[in-house]
Amino acid sequence: MYEWIKVLHIISFVAWFAGLFYLPRLYVYHAENADHDHTRKTLETMEYKLLKFIMNPAMIATWIFGVALIHYAGSAGWLHAKITLVVILSAFHMYLGVIRKKLINEPSKYSSKYFRYINEVPTVLLILIVILVVVKPF
């Protein structure tokens, strides 16, 4: 059972990260097209569907299968650090949801440059999480 849970955990976090990489990129386009109604409406629909139908279920599944893995495999120091990073990642996910709503009401509030910068957050967290899982430094 452990191997199947691990497979489901990997599939769900890959889907989650795909969304975490793509949603800020959509926000870049949204900020750059704030004055183009048709494009903006299309992006709003894409952002909503990505967040609600892909990212949210993938995040929830990642947490469920991750907790199940802890049940089977136990706990270690590196795992506590990983969970801390996943909590930060989850907070970032929620922040992206807040931004989506703000972009609808105030499309010029954020610059595309800002979204290019925050697009690096999941990359940094992914690198740190993979190092912790593979190297298990403590």
Whether 30 contacts 104, CB under 8 Å: no
Torsion of CA 127, 133, 137, 138, to 10 degrees: 130
Task: Please give the span between the terminal C-alpha atoms of the chain, in angstroms, as a whole number.
Answer: 26
Half-sphere exposure of 103 (CA within 13 A, CB side): 33
Q: What is the mean pLDDT of the chain?
A: 96
Measured CA to CA in angstroms, residue 26 lies from 48, 100, 119 at distances of 11, 10, 10
Identify the pLDDT of residue 80: 95
pLDDT of 13: 98
What local confidence, expressed as pLDDT, does residue 41 receive? 95
**Which class for 44: exposed (0-12), middle (13-18), buried (19 or more C-beta within 10 A)?**
middle
Alpha carbon of 59 to those of 10, 73, 129: distances in Å?
11, 21, 15
CB-CB contact of 55 with 93 (8 Å): yes
The whole-number mean pLDDT for each consecutive block of 10 residues of the chain, a chain of 138 residues, reads: 97 98 97 94 97 98 97 89 98 98 88 96 98 95
User: Under a CB-based contact definition with an 8 Å cutoff, are residues 16 and 126 in contact?
Assistant: no
Whole-number pLDDT of residue 130: 97
